[in-house]
Structure 1
């Protein structure tokens, strides 16, 4: 069912998952022990209902289809796995080393999106 959607819609779905995941993880300050998949799904649902045009364009039949929801769950898992496995860039690593020296902090981070969060936080943007 998901595969039958336009490529633009599929890209928008992935983007909405990534954006919502980034916002959710920032809200829990990337503390993995605070991660709750149900809380994340709830925040993603709120995000797509309020901000995602792709969701508004789906038929009610599609929105209520169990197969569609199963495929979305797989897409969410795949997208989160991809985000969490994406290594920080060398620029991010260098920037974090410098920012942590300046601030006297020593944060652990494991992926590109978490590194971005820490850079923003240490620069005072969070």
Structure 2
């Protein structure tokens, strides 16, 4: 069912998952111990109801269909896995190394999105 949606709609769904995942992870400071999939899903549901224009384009039948929700859950997992497996860029790693040296800090990070968070966090300490 999800696969039969127009391409633009599928892209919008993926973007909304990525956007909310980034917001959620920032909210918990990228602390894996604080991660809770149910909390993330609640935050995503609020986002799609209040900010996602694609949600209004779905028919009520699709929104109520259990198979759509199963496919959507798989898409959420796939998108999160893709985010977590995307390696930080060389530029991000150099920036983090310089900022950590400056702040006598040694935080770890494992993906591009987490590196972005760490850079922003370290830069805000500089100000």
Alignment of 1:16-95 (within 5 A): 16-95=16-95
Inter-partner Cα distance in structure 1 for 2:53 and 2:77: 22
Deviation at 1:8, TM superposition (A): 0.2
Q: By how many angstroms is 1:57 displaced?
A: 1.1
Residue equivalent to 2:13: 13
So what's the TM-score if we normalise by structure 1? 0.97
Instruction: Work out the number of aligned pairs and report it.
Output: 125
Tell me, yes or no, if structure 1 residue 2 matches structure 2 residue 5.
no
1:15 Cα deviation from its structure 2 partner:
0.2
For residues 112 and 76 of structure 1, what CA distance do their matches in structure 2 show?
18
Unaligned runs of 5+ in 2: none
Instruction: Measure, in 1, the Cα distance between the counterparts of 2:57 and 2:123.
Output: 38
Provide runs of 4+ in structure 1 moved above 4 Å: none
Return the alpha-carbon distance in structure 2 between the equivalents of residues 85 and 77 of structure 1: 12
Distance 1:31 1:78 in 2: 20
Residue ranges of structure 1 left out of the alignment (5+ in a row) = none
Give the Å deviation of 1:68: 0.3
